[in-house]
Amino acid sequence: EKKGNMETRLNSTEEQLDQLKNQSADELKVAFSAGLTDSGIVGPFDEETTLIFSKTITNVGRGYNSSAGVFTAPVTGLYFFSFTAADYLKGYMGLYLYQNEQPVSFSLDLNDHGGYTSMTSAVALQLDQGDRVRLALPASYRLYDDSRNFSMFSGFLLFPV
């Protein structure tokens, strides 16, 4: 009889462990990709403006908010972000990447030929749970996107810390 009890307890402990494993595995699945817009030209604006990449392609773990353009880290960890920005008019194109309210990087390109051009940048960031990452367009700069997704923003959790 005692042996039966022990087996039952072991089985239920194993089930609980499996449930916990599945829960934490799901928490650690975080990845998103979003396109900027279908409507063509974005900017120039009078002041620096957070870009709202409104076309969600992937949003596993629901970290990316497509109406605010902001990714919020669901767990503390090392994250990888990349973006591509495109335009087709002569002039400068550039983007700030922010962690919370701190600019982490500024990516700049000069389109001197006036045809389609794009720039890509990437960064690995250690984020605390709740940290926010976004892209901002400096005042007087512009970008272009349409249904072909020239301009994209992506990120994913490499591993929890």
Q: Which two tokens stand for residue 134?
A: 């976004």
Domain ranges across the chain = 30-160
Rounded average pLDDT per 10-residue block, the chain, 161 residues: 77 82 75 96 94 97 97 97 92 92 91 88 97 96 93 97 91
Helix (H, G, I), strand (E, B) or coil at 117: strand
Q: What is the DSSP string of 113-153?
A: S-S-EEEEEEEEEEE-TT-EEEEEEPTT--EEE-TT--SEE
The C-alpha atoms of residue 114 and residue 127 are separated, in whole angstroms, by 38
The predicted structure's pLDDT at residue 120: 93
The predicted structure's pLDDT at residue 28: 85
Q: Of 2.60.120.40, 3.20.20.70, 1.10.3720.10, 3.30.70.890, which CATH number belongs to 30-160?
A: 2.60.120.40
The predicted structure's pLDDT at residue 6: 84
The predicted structure's pLDDT at residue 2: 64
